Amino acid sequence: MILRDPVHGLISFDSPVERIVVDLLDCREVQRLRRIKALGLASLAFPGAEHSRFAHAVGSAHVMKRYLERVRKLSTDLPAEDRIDRRAAMAALAAALLHDVGHGPLSHTFETVLPGAPPHETWTSRIILDPATDVHRVLTKVDPELPQEVERLVHGKHRIPHLARAVSGTFDVDRCDYLVRDSYMTGVRYGLLDIEWLLASLRLHRPQGTGASVLAVDGNKGLTAVEGFFLARLYMYRQVYLHKAVRGAEIVVRALFHRLVELGPQPGTPTAMATLLRGEPLDVPGYLRLDDRTLDAAIDAYTESSDPLLRELALRIRDRQLFKTMQLRADADPVAAQQRLDQVLRDEGIAPAYLGVIDRNEIRAYDEDHTLGVVGTSHGQYRSLLAASPVLRGLSRERFVHIRAVFPPQVRRAVGRGLAAFS
Amino acid sequence: MILRDPVHGLISFDSPVERIVVDLLDCREVQRLRRIKALGLASLAFPGAEHSRFAHAVGSAHVMKRYLERVRKLSTDLPAEDRIDRRAAMAALAAALLHDVGHGPLSHTFETVLPGAPPHETWTSRIILDPATDVHRVLTKVDPELPQEVERLVHGKHRIPHLARAVSGTFDVDRCDYLVRDSYMTGVRYGLLDIEWLLASLRLHRPQGTGASVLAVDGNKGLTAVEGFFLARLYMYRQVYLHKAVRGAEIVVRALFHRLVELGPQPGTPTAMATLLRGEPLDVPGYLRLDDRTLDAAIDAYTESSDPLLRELALRIRDRQLFKTMQLRADADPVAAQQRLDQVLRDEGIAPAYLGVIDRNEIRAYDEDHTLGVVGTSHGQYRSLLAASPVLRGLSRERFVHIRAVFPPQVRRAVGRGLAAFS
Amino acid sequence: MILRDPVHGLISFDSPVERIVVDLLDCREVQRLRRIKALGLASLAFPGAEHSRFAHAVGSAHVMKRYLERVRKLSTDLPAEDRIDRRAAMAALAAALLHDVGHGPLSHTFETVLPGAPPHETWTSRIILDPATDVHRVLTKVDPELPQEVERLVHGKHRIPHLARAVSGTFDVDRCDYLVRDSYMTGVRYGLLDIEWLLASLRLHRPQGTGASVLAVDGNKGLTAVEGFFLARLYMYRQVYLHKAVRGAEIVVRALFHRLVELGPQPGTPTAMATLLRGEPLDVPGYLRLDDRTLDAAIDAYTESSDPLLRELALRIRDRQLFKTMQLRADADPVAAQQRLDQVLRDEGIAPAYLGVIDRNEIRAYDEDHTLGVVGTSHGQYRSLLAASPVLRGLSRERFVHIRAVFPPQVRRAVGRGLAAFS
Amino acid sequence: MILRDPVHGLISFDSPVERIVVDLLDCREVQRLRRIKALGLASLAFPGAEHSRFAHAVGSAHVMKRYLERVRKLSTDLPAEDRIDRRAAMAALAAALLHDVGHGPLSHTFETVLPGAPPHETWTSRIILDPATDVHRVLTKVDPELPQEVERLVHGKHRIPHLARAVSGTFDVDRCDYLVRDSYMTGVRYGLLDIEWLLASLRLHRPQGTGASVLAVDGNKGLTAVEGFFLARLYMYRQVYLHKAVRGAEIVVRALFHRLVELGPQPGTPTAMATLLRGEPLDVPGYLRLDDRTLDAAIDAYTESSDPLLRELALRIRDRQLFKTMQLRADADPVAAQQRLDQVLRDEGIAPAYLGVIDRNEIRAYDEDHTLGVVGTSHGQYRSLLAASPVLRGLSRERFVHIRAVFPPQVRRAVGRGLAAFS
């Protein structure tokens, strides 16, 4: 199998081990990812960013393939227990492809808006472990124990620690793909990692007296590349993921779900969502019916709802009439600001209160990760990233806080006046 | 207004004339284009190609902006009647943005499958001219005659012929944007026009004894660029638009609609589509309710239809179990091949006949276009593109035919044997 | 060894077989290629195009490495005599790196201006075969027969025909590198081959009844890529290699050498060049002293020559006061035009006659090459490129002729009048 | 005038004001920059990096053109004294083009190796102010005062402070071009600034109570871009400018000049260099004879010197047999390390002492610059970059020190042992 990818160029899976990717791609649960946008609401601010989780899943499997090739090259120096055998390689490729298989509509938004609904990680586990799914069948055909191994790997657990971290860690194939892909598709250039260089500078370091190797980069050329990775992440948050229009849309969607919880299922609500709204348990086949398109269809139906608030919020999303934002000082007190915003909305006669939100996000540019380090060139000694990198040291000491008031457009002036002290 | 575009970099519309684009972008009919994929089914073969008609519309308006800037630079040499005044510039920007506003779901597929349904060009006209639409209101606010001017311009008619051709011609802003955008998003590199160079080499040539200037390129540097444009188009057809998986998906969708016409509206069929299926007239608001997502929702509903054929076809689309293709010789007789294919399907017990299709597409690499030429550098003499370009001459003498049998996977071997004589 | 290349990204030679490239890179004769510009005078028209033959040699070796990897993947299907063993792989890498090692200053210009001087191919052979050179020593250390094998391979001869053609053929690693590199460095986008796709679509085809496989591309996806290769070549000729300023510079250099032959060695003429000017035989060490910089130093010295013509020509090159060009009709008779140009120069009092040149270049877009074909997908049948490709068929029927008068600036008007009938 | 630039795409200078660039490009002193490599010895480590100061000068003028266009767009809000009139625009374009016109061979190396030789800035001034140069003549033709204005501008002095800073400041057109160009040509991706976005986010801020506007960027979108600029600079230092092979070559060149100073002019030393070596004053025409190629010719001559040390050093440069490096701890004491290295060389019988060098470089990632700030979006308030940017704050607190021992290859082991305590 060979296919064109705008980000990685040619992607092929043709060795016997890689065959598992081809088989998984044909599964209904993986095809469903075509119907879920990777960046959710961000295409409202970045018209190019319509790409799907499916393309990201394929890209992640491709980066994993490259990682496995790299480790194979290093493996003459590896202790036996850190070498990746055929079975572990298949598990790693499958886990990279399936790591997002449980995502619901609008990616991360969905799980935060339905109180009590299981997070996407739980759904990913269920889908992999449920004997009735296509992906389970494909994995089981290789080995009856493979679904369990893949499921654990998706959550960062494996007997080979560096492989577990490559699937789910500070610096993993998932992030490597999405930073570049989101950057390419939004046109925001800051996420353009040099994946070739990252792979070429990768090492596996075995600390003395311990059993397992950890990921490391070559201190000479790899340090810059790995710093670039964390900077890319910081910048994509700032420029894309926390873009004011994206947050303005997010708050509208949350308000819509808030209203829906108040009202209960409405005409046009898909069965599976109704189940979740009622707080009832949902089975895997039901969950898999939910995707961006079923949610869109529901929102489309709500544009004709008899409830004026639900109708207004649905129209706002469909026709991109988003909430406005006002940036506050990084050190503003979010609780006090929320109280002030509530007061402004009350004074202006806007209800319910959840239409005005203080939206605070803090990005950790780099948290010390003891499973990722730097191997020096002169003597091969291992140091932590923080010890080796003044750039990461500098970044780790600063806080990156984005705090905004988000509210309906008609109260723009009142909010501007009312929250002046926080800005 | 400034936004990031992965293809053109920064796009801004900030002059008073360009303000019309900003106002039109807020219209519901333009926002609807976010819900229609530019390449329809092609994302089934090219996972990156999920981009929307909205992004393409914005890009087309941007290329038109650049075209207007270029003509302004040339305009000291232009006769008064070829210069673009403020009003014509607004019409041109609006026409570039709105040229696709009447597209239905799955872009070109939709209009070919419903017998008697108006083509998207008709819907574009109706939407622009209907006093109840947002875009009509925005245009009318500028000038009551503007909707008519924009509608005519979309169809290539205007008092300034070169402007009409720039909106809708052999070599227009629509194609300039989509070739590059589709190329960028599929990862197929052949559509990468050098738009900067094309614009820099653009001339307006006034033939002696006639009243109006025609588009031309500088013979020295522009000829290569304009040849590159036609080559890019040829290659994108070959590599993307006529890709076997894309055609395999297209034939499945057509068969589904064929079945739907036989059955009449089914549970899950959206109201507007039901109207069309019944052959009844549809109004503009009804048509605007149709988009990729309503169609997807319908297909999703059909996956549970009681009609086995409709259900099978719906599942094929949703889960990407497409029809297979077999390439035939370029000079194969399509009628004889179809008869043979029908026979094979009958022999294999596959019915109805429309499940097996001989799909023949011929691309005209370049047809002589007398409104586009080349201005020589030595004496400024004007020549037709065919006279000036050996490359286009060579291409125009050849025929580019793609002919394939398309059929359900289970008859693959039987078709291989049965149509061997045509391959 | 790992290095950054702007064109190919990371280049590494680290397997035991590839070690030969690392050793050859350290040779004086290869290091000398740093001092010879790949595009000679073209940087006078394209300021970015200062890249050296050294970078191109490294790039060619890299493409050969990729070719060998591709053939290894195909090799399960290959007859034993077409498989590339360790020794042949080393020869191929060495030949790709060394194919240009005999180039003189200004690349192709030099050998055309000195009557009787051996062409660069001869020098390449001598350098490889001369026991006193570093490269000979490196090759001999591997195997005493290796220099002979590499030398024959550079000239397209080897027991494995497809390997010989990959080093020196219609479609070889040399062209693959230089088209992309020259494109990247000039900023002219037409040479941007999709090397990944070309390699992925490569096949080796064994015609029935013959002993050796020939290069082929997959008919489905490879045809477009290989057409793109020949189009890229055509366009780079048109846009870069035959650019009017490049030809204007070339004619000045030729005139300078013409003058030098008339005058004999002058103050500042390097010893080796003096030897060549006197028509005496030059040895390898002497030849290797010649590079762009020794030629530049000579030209610099000539700017103070007592001979007015030599001085003028040297100043023209150093300070970029090039000859002018006038484009003539493609079908103009070059002999008659030269006579006319000579007359104009005589009338204007300009002598000698070689200051005015009719410069005619004809590019063959594609000549049928029976060692390169297309393998169809349906039945695996092999066809010639011309049979399979309407684009190449169209191109091969057309002639691409560039004909210009080149002359000193002061006679611009007189030439314009005098040669009007040819334009 | 229109030309292709690999970095900026099309570059054109066609308005009457821009005409000055076209005229300056024809000057001998500007053409000389074709013969000076922008990155000096770096092409020894990065084979692609052969680009000239000429291409950089053109690129800088292009960025200045874009800057002037941007300021013109902003200028409705500007006080009269900050607006750029025709004359100032011409001066700015000329200064951007000429800012490096005084560079000697090997760019920065040259001026550091000849004791008492004037720095390149002095030569730039002399060339612009000398009535006998072409550039002086071109400037004077526009206005007799223009040479003085341009010369002051090159050194960052002008009545319009923001214009002075755009020519020569923390964040100027010079750096904007070279970071991108060096990045493009080396293949090191870290210098890829988003110049479009930088320009779009540029503001001019007028502090209350002062007379002149300062450069600022929009706090929302510009902050990321300007941080990216300083990060790009830091990374290019680390990856390219201070690359170990580049420093290893630099130290060889310095040693060669050291030897030359000891020996006095040798056979092959160009006249102008001999003058400098003898400590005698050199005139402008003499200096202009020096470029990379005259230096290369001299080094070539020295490869046959009767002085063994000079010969060895010359061969090392020509054939790329560079000195080796050993990385020391960032906090190593350079004086103590030098003493230790001297001792090692003495013990190994290597003399003179300048063949072993402790090479310490400290990069300031960002120094507070009060002429560059950030304008907030909410209230338009101005803040310093350090106040606005946690990233720059983090970077400014860290020290980026590269310290290495550089020495002849034959003492590698002895140095490794001898300086172990410093590493």
pLDDT digits (tens, 9 = 90+) for C355-365: 999 999 999 99
- Name the percent of chain D in helix, strand, coil, to the closest 5: 55, 10, 30
Closest C-alpha among A156, A94, A159 to residue A127: A94
Taking the CA of residue D321 and the nearest CA in chain C, the distance in Å comes to 8
Q: What is the DSSP string of D143-197?
A: -TTHHHHHHHHHTT--SSHHHHHHHSSSS-HHHHHHHHHHHHHHT-GGG---HHH
pLDDT band at A380 (very low <50, low <70, confident <90, very high): low
End-to-end CA separation in angstroms for chain C: 54
Question: Distance between CA atoms of D106 and D113, rounded to whole angstroms?
Answer: 11
Closest C-alpha among A321, A353, A360 to residue A339: A353
Which residue in chain A is spatially nearest to C8 when comparing CA positions?
A196
Closest C-alpha among B186, B237, B37 to residue A6: B186
**Amino acid letter, residue A257:** F
pLDDT at residue A377 greater than cutoff 70 = no
Q: Which residues 267-296 of chain A have a CB within 8 Å of chain B?
A: 289, 293-294, 296
Closest C-alpha among B92, B103, B96 to residue B146: B92
- Is residue B360 exposed (0-12), middle (13-18) or buried (19+ Cβ within 10 Å)? middle
Taking the CA of residue A350 and the nearest CA in chain C, the distance in Å comes to 57
Please name the member of C377, C391, C399 whose beta carbon is closest to the beta carbon of B390: C399
Do C191 and C51 touch, CB atoms closer than 8 A?
Answer: no
Task: Give the pLDDT mean for C144-172.
Answer: 95
Does the CB of B190 have a partner CB in chain C at under 8 Å? yes
pLDDT at residue B208 greater than cutoff 80 = no
Do C216 and C72 touch, CB atoms closer than 8 A?
Answer: no
Question: Distance between CA atoms of A64 and B423, rounded to whole angstroms?
Answer: 40
Residues D26-70 pLDDT 10s: 999 999 999 999 999 999 999 999 999 999 999 999 999 999 999
Which residue reads 């190919």 in tokens? C8
Which residue in chain C is spatially nearest to A194 when comparing CA positions?
C9
Question: Distance between CA atoms of A297 and D254, rounded to whole angstroms?
Answer: 72
Please name the member of B2, B12, B197 whose beta carbon is closest to the beta carbon of D10: B197
Q: Tell me the percentage of chain D whose pLDDT exceeds 70.
A: 97
C109 belongs to a structural domain: yes
How much is the pLDDT for A17? 96
D224 shares its domain with D312: no
Task: Give the pLDDT mean for C379-391.
Answer: 84
**Amino acid letter, residue A286:** G
Q: Which of the other chains make 3 or more beta carbon contacts under 8 angstroms with chain A?
A: B, C, D
pLDDT band at B123 (very low <50, low <70, confident <90, very high): very high
How much is the pLDDT for A322? 95
Three-class SS state of A395: helix
- Is residue D306 exposed (0-12), middle (13-18) or buried (19+ Cβ within 10 Å)? exposed
Does the CB of C2 have a partner CB in chain A at under 8 Å? yes
Question: Distance between CA atoms of B48 and B72, rounded to whole angstroms?
Answer: 37
pLDDT along chain D (423 residues), means of 10: 92 95 97 95 94 97 96 80 90 98 84 81 97 98 97 96 93 95 90 84 81 83 88 91 94 95 94 91 94 92 96 96 94 96 97 96 89 73 88 88 96 96 93
Question: Distance between CA atoms of A54 and A30, rounded to whole angstroms?
Answer: 7
What is the model's pTM?
0.94
Q: Which of the other chains make 3 or more beta carbon contacts under 8 angstroms with chain B?
A: A, C, D
Taking the CA of residue B196 and the nearest CA in chain D, the distance in Å comes to 7
Does the CB of B16 have a partner CB in chain D at under 8 Å? no
How much is the pLDDT for C247? 95
Question: Distance between CA atoms of B19 and B30, rounded to whole angstroms?
Answer: 15
Order of strands, sheet of C214-218, starting from the edge strand that comes earlier in the sequence: C202-205, C214-218, C372-375, C382-384
D294 belongs to a structural domain: yes
Beta-strand relationship, A214-218 and A202-205: antiparallel
pLDDT at residue B210 greater than cutoff 80 = no
C100 belongs to a structural domain: yes
Does the CB of A301 have a partner CB in chain D at under 8 Å? no
Residues B92-104 pLDDT 10s: 999 999 999 999 9
B157 belongs to a structural domain: yes
D307 shares its domain with D178: yes
Rg (CA), chain C: 23
C133 belongs to a structural domain: yes
Do C89 and C142 touch, CB atoms closer than 8 A?
Answer: no
Say whether C231 and B231 touch across the interface (CB within 8 A). yes
Taking the CA of residue A293 and the nearest CA in chain B, the distance in Å comes to 6
How much is the pLDDT for A154? 97
D13 belongs to a structural domain: yes
Strands (E) across D251-371 are located at: 324-327, 357-363
Question: Distance between CA atoms of C55 and C77, rounded to whole angstroms?
Answer: 34
Within 10 Å of residue B212's Cβ, how many Cβ atoms?
16
How much is the pLDDT for C206? 81
Interface size between A and D, measured as CB pairs under 8 A:
64
Say whether A400 and D390 touch across the interface (CB within 8 A). yes
Taking the CA of residue A190 and the nearest CA in chain D, the distance in Å comes to 8
Least confident piece of the model among B64-78, C108-122, C289-303: C108-122
Beta-strand relationship, A372-375 and A214-218: parallel
B143 belongs to a structural domain: yes
Do A197 and A217 touch, CB atoms closer than 8 A?
Answer: no
Does the CB of B349 have a partner CB in chain D at under 8 Å? no
How much is the pLDDT for D279? 87
Rg (CA), chain B: 23
How much is the pLDDT for A379? 59
D69 shares its domain with D212: no
pLDDT band at C31 (very low <50, low <70, confident <90, very high): very high
Residues of D in Cβ contact (< 8 Å) with B200: 2, 10, 12
CATH number at residue A211: 1.10.3210.10
Closest C-alpha among A378, A373, A203, A391 to residue D332: A378
CA distances from residue B136 to B20, B143, B156, D343 in whole angstroms, order as listed: 12, 10, 19, 86
Most confident of A251-265, C67-81, C202-216: A251-265
| Of the residues D270, D305, D322, the one at which a domain ends | D322
Do B381 and B205 touch, CB atoms closer than 8 A?
Answer: no
Say whether C46 and D318 touch across the interface (CB within 8 A). no
Residues of D in Cβ contact (< 8 Å) with C31: 318-320
How much is the pLDDT for B380? 66
Residues of A in Cβ contact (< 8 Å) with B51: 48, 50
Kindly state the tokens that stand for C396. Answer: 């091969």
Does the CB of B9 have a partner CB in chain D at under 8 Å? yes
D212 shares its domain with D115: no
Residues B325-353 pLDDT 10s: 999 998 999 999 999 999 999 999 999 99
Which of C218, C221, C224, C375 to probe the B interface (max B CBs under 10 A)? C224
Do A324 and A412 touch, CB atoms closer than 8 A?
Answer: yes
- Local structure of residue B267 (DSSP, 8 states): T
- Is residue C100 exposed (0-12), middle (13-18) or buried (19+ Cβ within 10 Å)? buried
CA distances from residue C139 to B406, C16, C23, C79, C84 in whole angstroms, order as listed: 56, 14, 9, 28, 18
For C152, the domain range is: 2-201
Q: Tell me the percentage of chain B whose pLDDT exceeds 90.
A: 73
Three-class SS state of D21: helix
Residues A126-165 pLDDT 10s: 999 999 999 999 999 999 999 999 999 999 999 999 999 9
Say whether A394 and D399 touch across the interface (CB within 8 A). no
D309 shares its domain with D341: no
Does the CB of A239 have a partner CB in chain D at under 8 Å? yes
Number of structural domains found in chain B:
1
D166 shares its domain with D90: yes
How much is the pLDDT for C379? 59
Say whether B12 and D196 touch across the interface (CB within 8 A). no
C45 belongs to a structural domain: yes
Peptide bond into C352 cis (omega under 30): yes
Please name the member of C4, C31, C50 whose beta carbon is closest to the beta carbon of D187: C4
Taking the CA of residue D390 and the nearest CA in chain A, the distance in Å comes to 6
Say whether D296 and C300 touch across the interface (CB within 8 A). no
CA atoms within 13 A on the CB side of C119: 4
Kindly state the tokens that stand for D224. Answer: 């990321």
Question: Distance between CA atoms of D185 and D187, rounded to whole angstroms?
Answer: 6
Which of B50, B138, B243 to probe the A interface (max A CBs under 10 A)? B50
How much is the pLDDT for C380? 66
**Four-point Cα dihedral D96, D101, D104, D109, nearest 10:** -10
pLDDT band at B206 (very low <50, low <70, confident <90, very high): confident
Q: Which of the other chains make 3 or more beta carbon contacts under 8 angstroms with chain D?
A: A, B, C
pLDDT at residue B399 greater than cutoff 90 = no
Residues B277-294 pLDDT 10s: 998 999 999 999 999 988
pLDDT at residue B35 greater than cutoff 80 = yes
pLDDT band at C370 (very low <50, low <70, confident <90, very high): confident
Does the CB of D399 have a partner CB in chain A at under 8 Å? yes
Which residue in chain B is spatially nearest to A315 when comparing CA positions?
B28
Between A28 and C373, the higher pLDDT residue: A28
